[in-house]
Structure formats: C-alpha cells, structure tokens
A and B are shown apart, each in its own frame.
Chain A
Amino acid sequence: MVSAPSGRLSRALSLVGAGLRKVRTLALATALVASVSALAALTWRLSEIRHDNGIIDALKAGDDVAVDPRTASGEVLMARSEFLLQRDRREEAQALLDASSSIADPKLRARLIGNHGNARIRDAIAAVERADNDKAIPLTRLAKDEYRLALRLDPDAWDIKYNFDVAMRIVRDFPGYEKDSEDVPPDAPKRLWTDLPGVPKGLP
C-alpha cells in the first residue's frame, strides 16, 4: 500500500530527470553563452572605469588632458572642472558647466556646480576686499544661482548650504555699504562682515 505512491513518485521523478537530460546540452550551452557575455560586459565596464581613473589622476597631477563633455563620465568632468577652476580658465570651465547636465548622478552634479559657485564667491570676496562692488555683486548673484541649482539637485548638501549662506550675506550687505563707500578708508571692507543689518531689506 505504501510502495504504490512512492513507486509512482519515483517514476514521475525519473520522467522529469529524463526530460532534463534531453535538454541538458542545450541548457548548458545557453548558460555558458550567457555567463561569458556577462563576463565580457563587466570586464568592459571595469576597464572603462580604470581608464577614467587614469584621466582623473592625470588631471590631478596637473596634466592638461582634454575631455569631451558629451561622452566623459561625471567624475572625469568633475576632475576637469577642478583643473580649469584652479588655473582660472573660467571660460572653459563655464562651457564645461553648461555641458554638465549630462551627469546622471544628481549629487555629483550638485558638487560640480557647488564648486563653481565657490570659485565665484572667492572672486567676489577678493573684489569686496578691493572695494570693487561692481564686480562683486554680479559674481555673487551668479554664485547664488549656482548654489540654488546645486541645492535643488541635492537638498542635503550641507557645505553648499553653508556657502550659500555666506553668499547671501555678501549681497545683502551691499545696499548699506555702497552708500557710504566714498568716505570709507581702504581697510573698510573688513567691517563689511560685522555690519550685518538686523533687518534684511530688499532681497534678490
């Protein structure tokens, strides 16, 4: 009584086994083709990454490696943009920034744009210290636009928030500062940072 169902089961199992053996060669060949093509694709991507990291190292070391913004990866664009910003090649850097919309990772793009904003703010601070407001105001406005764009992409980027706050205070200070700029001694810009208005009037 017990052997009848188990006999049926073993018959069923042997049928399944026979069916599997019939397709075994084809199944193994298919699996081999699939795994070899996966291996090829992965190796290709790894070699691409290694190549990109080589370019990044060269740019860090100061080699002027040209980069095509349409095809380069985000990390390479970031390295190229830093290279250009550090050497004050602002027009090329701006062209790169305009092409950065191809970067898929929003956090990486936010960093790239944030670094551009930082470069402008550093220029603006230098202009303020020279009492060159005509230059400082538009630079700060551009930086603020860039910080805003960066924060839209990555609302949790604390360093960008912090530097955006710095930029906000530079332009807010100007209306009060501009009025009496004529009778301020050359070392006056130092006071700029302390003369913060209690009530901000007129925001961008």
Chain B
Amino acid sequence: MLRAVLALLMLVALVRDTAAEVRAVHTVEPRAFGYFLGDTLVRTIEIETGADDEIVPASLPRTGASNYWLELRSIDQTSKRHGDGRLHTLNLTYQAFYAPIDPRKQTIPATEIAVRGPNGSETVAIPPFTFLMSPLREIFPEKSGETSETFLRPDFPVEHRRSGHLGTAALLAAALSALFLALLARDLAWWPFHRRPARPFSRAVRDVGRALALGGADGYRAALIALHRAFDTASGQRLLAGDIDVFLAAHPEHDETRLQVERFFSASRSVFFGEAQREGETDLPPTDLRALAAALARQERAAR
C-alpha cells in the first residue's frame, strides 16, 4: 500500500516537472483588411512564462518563403523580467505576394512554438491569422480604355546624386577653419596681428631668430636690441637692469625665467658697454638667447 502511494507521488512529481511554465499567450494582430500585393504585416506574440523558461530558437518559424505567396521577413525576439516570471515578445514581419483579382481572404497558418524550462518543455499554439487582400487594378482594364501600352507604370527615372547637406557642412567647416586660423594667428601674433601690443615677446622671437641668422657680432647685437625692445614694450618704459625686480613684480608670469633675464641684462651690458664685443665672450650664447625669447613668448601667451 505504502509502495503504491509512493509510486503515485513520484508519478505526480514527474508529470509536474515535465513541463515548462507557460502562464499566458497573447497575440497582437494588425488590421485584417486593406492589404495589397507586396504589403508587410507585423504580428506580435507575447508569451508569459516562468522566470527560467526560454523559447527554443529552433521551434520558431523559419524566415523566408512560408508558401508560394507568403514570406516571413524577420523575427525580432525580446525577453524581459515581468513580475516573478519572464515576458517573451516576438515580432513576426510577414510580406504577402498574393495578387488577388477580387478582394480575397488569405490565411497565415497556425504554428507552434516550444518553450523550454529547467525540467522540460511545453508547446505554445499560435493561432492562424486571416486578412483580406485587395486588388490594385480593375478586372477588365480595357473597358476603361487601357491598352497594352498603358498597362505598365513607367520606369523609375534616372536621378542625379544629391549632395544633401554636404555643401552646407563644407561651408561651415570653411568658416570654422578661417575662424580658428584667425584666433591662432592672434594668439601667436602672426600677420596681421604681428604688431599686437600684448605680444611683444612673440614678435621678439621672430626678430631674434632673424638677427641671429645673420651671424657675427652685428647679428648678435641686433638680437639683443630686439629683445630689449620687447622688454621696453612689455613694461611700457625703457627697461634697465636695475628695473628687473619691478618688471617681474608687475609681470609675475615671467618670474620663473628670472635667472636667464638677469643673465641677458648682464650680457647686454658687457656687449654694449664692456669689452666683450664678440658673442662668444659673453655668458649668454645665441642658442640660450633664442631659448629665452621663446620661453618669454610662451609665458606671455599663457598669461593673456
């Protein structure tokens, strides 16, 4: 007796475990009329299942030709949590290639989809869908005066390539390029901003480079003078060695090159008023002079 009850209990358990848990099936159908040759229709099938159940991909209808007049174009499948279960949504896009002569009902046949759970699978029946297809042309076009010349719609015309918004975009890019070039020229004191009062050292970099390129004592002197002019313009007055502290206090951006600036003034003094007439005899070689001018110009740009 006990053995029989046990066997029954096991059987019940077995039966309960074989199936996945499909809770509800809901189909959202499109309109059932007003379809012409080549129209598409989208059927949405929602299947509510247990949390761990999934749709067996191989059981889905195959895309491609279903029969001579119907094609399944695509299946979009999504799956999301829904309460304590899952909601699977299938969007089936069909295209009908039936050319009716009078309005005629056509049917997408019923199908089955398998749902697989942890303990087994269950099939879901998808109902058939019947819809009305309509003709595009008269039954007897000749009666209204059509001939074989006028049966066909004309060919699609050959059209030019359209540039769309490319032209506008190119103009915009040109304007932006001009704007950025102007801003960059102003920042680096290029022509026509080369006489910009706020950029004396940027100008000095060019003048020093040009003067040093001449070479010799004269070139070196000219380079020194150019940098002196820049200091004069930057401070607003003739700047002498004794004014360096005042100048650096007013222009703190140049403070980190204080040592080099002092070397520049001492070199200048020895060149113009001392015995060191030759460039090699000062403690500021031409490369250092050029580097100093570049550093001052960089600091000047960063400050204003």
Contact = CB atoms under 8 A, between A and B. Distances in A.
B304 interface: yes
Contact of A31 (B101, B142, B180): B180
A169 interface: yes
Q: Which of A43, A73, A75, A166 has the most CB of B within 10 A?
A: A166
Contact of B161 (A42, A49, A160, A161): A49
Interface stretch (B122-130, B171-179, B221-229, B239-247): B171-179
A93 B151 CA distance: 23
A76 B160 CA distance: 8
Given A155-B95, A164-B99, A46 B181 contact: no
B158 A155 contact: no
Contact of A35 (B99, B159, B173): B173
Contacts, number: 149
A79 interface: yes
Interface in A46-82: 46, 49, 52-53, 56, 59-60, 73, 75-76, 78-79, 82
Given A21-B302, A82-B158, A152 B181 contact: no
B68 A165 contact: no
A29 B68 CA distance: 64
A87 B36 CA distance: 33
In this complex, the interface size class of chain B, counting residues with CB under 8 Å from chain A, is 35 or more
Contacts of A38: 169, 173, 176
A60 B158 contact: yes
B141 A161 contact: no
B191 interface: no
A75 B167 CA distance: 19
B174 A39 contact: yes
Given A24-B187, A162-B137, A194 B142 contact: yes
Contacts of A114: 155-156
Interface residues of A, number: 64
B69 to A, nearest CB: 7
B79 to A, nearest CB: 27
B3 interface: no
A140 interface: no
B193 to A, nearest CB: 13
A128 to B, nearest CB: 8
Interface string B83-105: 00000000000010101010000
B176 to A, nearest CB: 4
A152 to B, nearest CB: 7
Contacts of A46: 163, 166-167, 170
B6 interface: no
A42 B169 contact: yes
B161 A196 contact: no
B40 interface: yes
B37 A125 contact: no
Nearest to A78: B158
B184 interface: yes
A133 interface: no
Interface string A162-177: 1111101100000000
B148 A129 contact: yes
Interface of B: 36-40, 68-69, 71, 73, 95, 97, 99, 101, 135-137, 139-142, 148, 151-156, 158-163, 166-167, 169-170, 173-174, 176-177, 180-181, 183-184, 187-188, 301-304
The 3 closest A-B pairs by CB, nearest first: A168-B99, A151-B38, A39-B173
Given A32-B181, A60-B158, A152-B73, 15 more contacts: A21-B303, A24-B301, A25-B187, A25-B188, A32-B177, A38-B173, A39-B173, A42-B169, A56-B158, A73-B161, A82-B155, A115-B156, A118-B152, A166-B151, A194-B142
